[in-house]
Structure 1
Amino acid sequence: MRIFTRKNVLSFDFTNTEIKVVEGKYSRKGLVIDKSISVPVARDIYWDGIIHDMEHITYLLGQALNSNNMALGEAYGVINTTEILTRGIMIPKVEDNEIDSIIHYQLEDYIPINAEDYVVNHLKLGPIMDEGIEKINLMLVCVPKSIVESHLSLIKKLKLKPMVLDYSGNAIRKLLMINQQINGSNEITGSIAAIGFGYESSIINIIDGDLLKVSRLVDIGWKYLIESLSHVFPGLNENEIKEKINALTSIDEDYESNTDEYKVINGVKTYINSVFPNIDMIFRYYSAGQVGNDVDYIVLLDGLSNIDGIEKMCTNFFNKPTIRMKSLNRVKFDGDLSKYANAIGGLIRLGEVKK
């Protein structure tokens, strides 16, 4: 039986293959996560931020929440979709309370959209000098209004009170911003590139201090790995191929070339090597943007990051220290932090797209 509580909050991370939910609370002391669940969803139910079957997804999530006795009350959401538009802009230096009005009146000059169809928010990227004039660097985040409304409606149907909708780049920014150490010994300093190997695409967010400097998608997700392995294992369906990938613990193990393990490892290495050059282009774009910009180290999230050896491949290719997120000094959580990082970051309220 689910009970109403004002103490704990639910946070949903909506992705293409599963919806991840955490129950916890955020305070000045940090984050405490009491429960976490993951609910698989089919493509005809939910895909790329679009709810195709509201009744079915409500049922699936409702059953999962009830069976795990998740709290009733406030809920936040993190949306991942290619329909979100981001654009870096510069505006004259003004007071913070004037920024929204400038964006409102000049939005269509900055980005070619119908403003009435989008919910628009902004993130400050810091001051910048432009031809000797100090300006403010901003990142616009434009979410289709239909996507915002459908997710708010879903949360209401689950007998929850929707409070905030966020997007993955900002959730990761907040999570890193409030912590000082990753995995007990790695200080959170300088510019950090958080890389998530998603199913449809890979997400790259570059965070420097409390600022999200770059947020980009690379249209090469691990579905391409599955498609490649389907030719190696023609008798297996997608779920069976996923099982083979998930069973892999390391890409550094030695196997005979005729074994399934060898073939899967070879496929993973080929896929990773195809993604890296695209990520490198984003790193170069960041470095070229302003003198002193450089990625200091890389943090791997979710997806294939659980496989030992991916970190070493990443370190060798980019010549930058690479780690998988396993723990944070201000997050108390017994589950897979790498998997639930977006949902956990969504619990942190620092001003997002609000209901």
Structure 2
Amino acid sequence: MRFRFRLVRASEEAPSGRRHNGTADEKSLQLGSESWDLVDLAAVEQDGARLLLLLQPSQQPPLTITISISKIDPSDLKHHLDVQRTRLRAEHARAQLTTPQERARFRQIVCPACDVTVDLTPFPETPQMLCPCCETLVTIQSNVVPPENEADFRLCETCGMFSRPRHFRSFYFYYLVVHSGIHTHRSKRCRGCMRSASWKMLAGNFFFVIGVIPALIQLTRAYRKERDAGVYRGLESANQWARRGKLTKAIEGYHEILQRVPCAAGIYYNLGMALYKQHDLAHAASVLELALNDCANYTPACQLLEQCYRQSGDVEKLETLQSH
């Protein structure tokens, strides 16, 4: 895979300098005159056309590189790097195991949504797993049939609730007598967050026709009836009740979904987050424990459960959770 790139220095907001040639294959990443083994690439984050690369070379301190990509879609490059680096890192981790018992416990699963290799060795076996790259909750238990549209559901980038986020583009046009311009931002939001953002966008662009049209388009998308939610139908309404603090209504909605979805760490996480915001730490912790019973590597639930234990002073459970 060939591409062009420019370095983005930490002290600069925009890329500087001339463009360089880059290539990525199954084992290495070439950035100009420098080459990196993909097994040393610990993480890749994307922000528009930029990729942030976290490198952990052996015998060297960690290194962060930010590059601005051109000539190819940055998402394609990120996907390629994620697929190859996770495969290589899993192979490397397996090679480090010395005893037959350790090798027998080694578990890796290829995410059906994005083909990334997920190392589940440190975690107990549960019906679901979280892919750290595409952030999809995947049902992996052999005797459980996963929902057909499982890959569509993940955390909303705005409210943080498990939902079915859609691509959303905010658009603002401004005119300041001597200067005018536009500001756009892309994100993935649930319908509730799309609606609030669309109304704000309409209000912000009210005096400029150029900005009103995109706002009306987003409003139409936000209020369009959901037709293919499948077994997760009713999730949007339950999330809205939870955000408003109407837990009785939210619990009813979540309970109906749980009757159709036997493994649903995301649903338990939403309920746990709602209880946490109501300062009901004991019940929030109990529900979040159910989320981890369904998906042992569900990082959002684990992080929130840590907060519950820490704030309630349950040191023993906190230490046990952090030791896993």
Larger-Rg structure: 2
TM-score, normalised relative to structure 1: 0.26
Q: In proportion to residue count, which structure has more helix?
A: 2
Query: TM-score with structure 2 length normalisation?
Result: 0.28
Q: Which structure is higher in strand share?
A: 1
